[in-house]
Structure 1
Amino acid sequence: MLEIGLLLLLGLIAAMFGSIVGLGGGIIIVPALVLLGPQLTGAQIDHTTAVGTSLCALIVTALASTLAYAKKGRVDFRSGWLLFMTSGPAAMIGSALTGYLKDGSFQLVFGLFMLLMAALLVARDFLKPVSRKWPVERSYIDQEGMEHTYGYAVAPALIIGFFVGLISGLFGIGGGSLFVPVMVLLFRFPPHLAAATSMFVIFLSSLLGSGVHLWLGEVDLWIVLALVPGAWIGGKLGAHVASRMSGRGLMWLLRITLLLLSVELMVEGAAKL
């Protein structure tokens, strides 16, 4: 019962953080399963199972968040479908490549990636969106009645979607950690709209990526079932919290958490090489 309770709590925390900032939660679930497998399940969890299991849980997190955000009119479905055109197939490719990384190499590379994500989350507070006028222009009116203008070009959006999808399938993180900064800084998406749209793309991509991991036998369905209730509640709760606060304090907590986890992963990964 204790193990089930811990997995429920993991799903809740990861989904709540992921929903608030559009990360998807996998960037917390994967290292937790890899590093704390014996404590959470009584046995060591290999990285391929951690990634596949995370992507399956992300389906629930992202769906719950997308539905909650959609009710508030914060999901740009047209832009989301465009990004998914390349992120979806790329997620399948990344999922197929996960097994080719050895445990030590995976932990080291994933640790470096998490360190980069922590740096991006810090840097985005100090960087300003580019002022370039894009061929496709969109507008969004927030809850305060303010109109925001953003845009993109189709080719760069498709390239970014492919790269993010590949990383998503390879590491089981959903891809929001890359989507949101790019959407905000490069395409000038309002932060809340970027987080909401990112969760929609994560939902679609996770369906394809997790399908590949299921086919390869790299998913622990019992862990998924334990994560799902917390992930569903956390996804909805995170979307609710995001609509009422800036999430600045939670963002700093997430940055520090990513930094600590990245160091632990890199140390353990280097030791296994």
Structure 2
Amino acid sequence: MTRGPRAYLSFIGIGLLAGLLSGLFGVGGGTVIVPLLVLLLSFGQRISAGTSLAAIVPTASVGVISYAISGSVAWIPALILAAGAVVGAQIGSRLLPRVSQTALRWGFVVFLIVVIVSLFLVIPSRAAEFELGWLNGVALVAVGVVTGVIAGLIGVGGGVIIVPVLMLGFGTSDLVAKGTSLLMMIPTAVSGTIGNLRHHNVDLVAAALIGVSACTTTALGAWLATRIDPFAGNVLFAAYLVVIAVQMALKALRSRPR
């Protein structure tokens, strides 16, 4: 495929933006990468999703290192979440032909609205620590599985779910939630990318450029997260979730039978 400078500059620009948001919010950046690849470069949906997932691997890795430096990663909970998410993603992909995408998207929009409202009511304490017990462990597995199922069904990355659930449901600080979310993404993204490569659903050049570019701004985003007041961080994250909710609602409206 012949590409001009515009395409390569677009890949770099997409990566810079995705990396900043990834570090700032503890998300993979797929909600930015996928629509921009489709909109700016006319990528197909599957190639966009596969390319985004591959780019998330280096991006999340840099993010984890950035958060780990400040001690803001819960290592064991992240691995438990990842194990559940890998299983859940397989379940989601099997359920995909049997479940109404429109109903799922509207359900996810409702979930995001509840989270957005909650973010203004519950302000996380940066002194809060994650206490892992058997009950929390079981809950983490369940959250991981549900996250994986949703990802497999509607292609939403785990960070959008994991970060608010860890803050609101498990009482962790916003920084630990973000660092843990990024770590959880790495094995799930690697697993998904291997499958996508087998099915030729990854543009390796685009993924490499986006991923490397994102790495240059992920640390900046993580640093900004530590400098922002927790309430301000919640407000910014809520604004980000509003954008995702609007995207999901538009997809649900477009998929209605005419």
Judged with a 3 Å threshold, the aligned counterparts in structure 2 of structure 1 residues 26 and 147 are, in CA distance, closer, same or farther, namely closer
Give the 5 Å matches for 1:186-201.
186-201=169-184
Point out the structure with the larger strand share: 1
Q: Does 1:235 align with 2:214?
A: no
Q: Deviations over 1:51-103 (max 9, x none)?
A: 211111111221110011111111111111222222123335546777x59xx
Task: Give, in whole Å, the separation in 2 of the partners of 1:68 and 1:243.
Answer: 10
Task: Give, in whole Å, the separation in 1 of the partners of 2:209 and 2:111.
Answer: 27
TM-score of the superposed pair, with normalisation by structure 1: 0.77
Deviates more, 1:261-270 or 1:5-14: 261-270
Deviates more, 1:5-14 or 1:261-270: 261-270
- 1:16 matched to which residue of 2? 20
Point out the structure with the larger helix share: 2
The counterpart of 1:68, out of the listed 66, 87, 92, is 66
The counterpart of 1:255, out of the listed 219, 229, 241, is 241
8 Å CA contact 1:58–1:174 kept in 2: the answer is no
Task: Give, in whole Å, the separation in 1 of the partners of 2:227 and 2:115.
Answer: 20
Task: Give, in whole Å, the separation in 2 of the partners of 1:123 and 1:252.
Answer: 8
Structure 1 residue 115: deviation in Å? Answer: 3.0
Structure 1 stretches of 5 or more lacking a match? 130-140
Q: Does 1:167 align with 2:171?
A: no
- 1:132 matched to which residue of 2? none
8 Å CA contact 1:20–1:238 kept in 2: the answer is yes
Q: CA RMSD in A?
A: 3.0
Task: Give, in whole Å, the separation in 1 of the partners of 2:110 and 2:31.
Answer: 12
Identity %: 26
8 Å CA contact 1:95–1:213 kept in 2: the answer is no
- 1:178 matched to which residue of 2? 161
Structure 1 residue 252: deviation in Å? Answer: 4.7
Task: Give, in whole Å, the separation in 2 of the partners of 1:181 and 1:78.
Answer: 18
How many aligned residue pairs are there? 248
- 1:119 matched to which residue of 2? 113
Structure 1 residue 157: deviation in Å? Answer: 1.5
Task: Give, in whole Å, the separation in 2 of the partners of 1:270 and 1:233.
Answer: 40
- 1:30 matched to which residue of 2? 34
Structure 2 stretches of 5 or more lacking a match? none
Task: Give, in whole Å, the separation in 1 of the partners of 2:218 and 2:254.
Answer: 30
Q: Deviating runs (4+, > 6 A) in structure 1?
A: none
Code of the residue aligned with 2:118 in structure 1: it is: R
Code of the residue aligned with 1:270 in structure 2: it is: R
Q: Does 1:220 align with 2:214?
A: no
